[in-house]
């Protein structure tokens, strides 16, 4: 991939989302559309965004019984997404069925641990140990299930890459040096994540909410 940056676009209006994508498309490698966008605009919205001419990453974080997740995957075949997410905590059978049901050219990656969480949050949900250990456990499970890769923070991608050499690693929660962290707790710079083995760099607010999104996208691209 020449440009690993996928811009995360979750704005309420479809015309605004498309205008933003058109503005920065020369300096990003793809578009990430999440639950907010998909619930608001559905298949029609995704097809409209695809007209921009960039690969589409559908960040739906599917998590249900295996049959239901497989059915959901089949229902988005027509959208031909480049990447779709499921939750690794859904278990091996769910991940296997998700991959089997996905389109031939769609990479299925498992969300290990949301970048808005830390060990304190984990403990409150009954998960012991460190964030690093949890990500490594779920990465191993995702690899065993035959998925293409995982979603993890920049803090873990280097360690996962050492164990899963040909994995496809999506890193969100990135913040360029000197930018506001916001509600993210485990963040690194785009350059650091790329150096540590990230395949895709998901960047939202630092571009989408910049005074000049085009200049922000250009500046991030220049660091890579």
User: Buried (b) or exposed (e) across 7-30, using 16+ Cβ within 10 A?
Assistant: bbbbbeeeeebbebbebbbebbbb
Number of Cα atoms under 13 Å in the Cβ half of residue 165: 0
User: If residue 107 lies in a helix (H) or strand (E), which one and from where to where?
Assistant: strand 107-111
Give the Cα separation of 61 and 111 in Å (integer). Answer: 7
Helix (H) / strand (E) element for 61: namely strand 56-62
Known catalytic membership, residue 165 = no
Q: Is 102 helix (H, G, I), strand (E, B) or coil?
A: coil
32, 61, 162, 185: which one is catalytic? 61
SS3 state of residue 179:
coil
Sign of the four-CA dihedral 201, 206, 207, 208:
positive
**What positions carry a catalytic annotation?**
61
């Amino acid at each position: 991939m020449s440009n690993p940056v996928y811009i995360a676009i979750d704005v309420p209006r479809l015309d605004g989302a498309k205008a933003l994508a058109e503005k920065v498309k020369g300096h990003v490698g793809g578009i990430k559309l999440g639950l907010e966008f998909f619930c608001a605009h559905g298949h029609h919205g995704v097809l409209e965004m695809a007209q921009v001419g960039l690969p589409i990453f559908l960040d739906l974080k599917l998590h249900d019984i295996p049959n239901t997740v497989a059915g959901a995957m089949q229902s988005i075949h027509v959208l031909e997404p480049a990447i779709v997410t499921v939750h690794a905590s859904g278990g091996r059978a769910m991940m296997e069925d998700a991959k089997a049901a996905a389109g031939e050219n769609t990479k299925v990656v498992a969300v290990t641990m949301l970048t808005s969480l830390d060990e304190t949050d984990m403990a409150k949900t009954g998960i012991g140990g460190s964030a690093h250990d949890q990500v490594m456990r779920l990465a191993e499970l995702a690899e065993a299930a035959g998925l293409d890769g995982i979603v993890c923070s920049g803090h873990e991608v280097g360690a996962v890459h050492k164990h899963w050499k040909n994995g496809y690693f999506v890193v969100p929660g990135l913040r360029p040096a000197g930018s506001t962290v916001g509600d993210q707790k485990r963040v690194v710079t785009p350059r650091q994540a790329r150096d540590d083995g990230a395949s895709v760099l998901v960047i939202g607010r630092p571009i989408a909410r910049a005074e000049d999104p085009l200049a922000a996208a250009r500046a991030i691209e220049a660091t890579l």
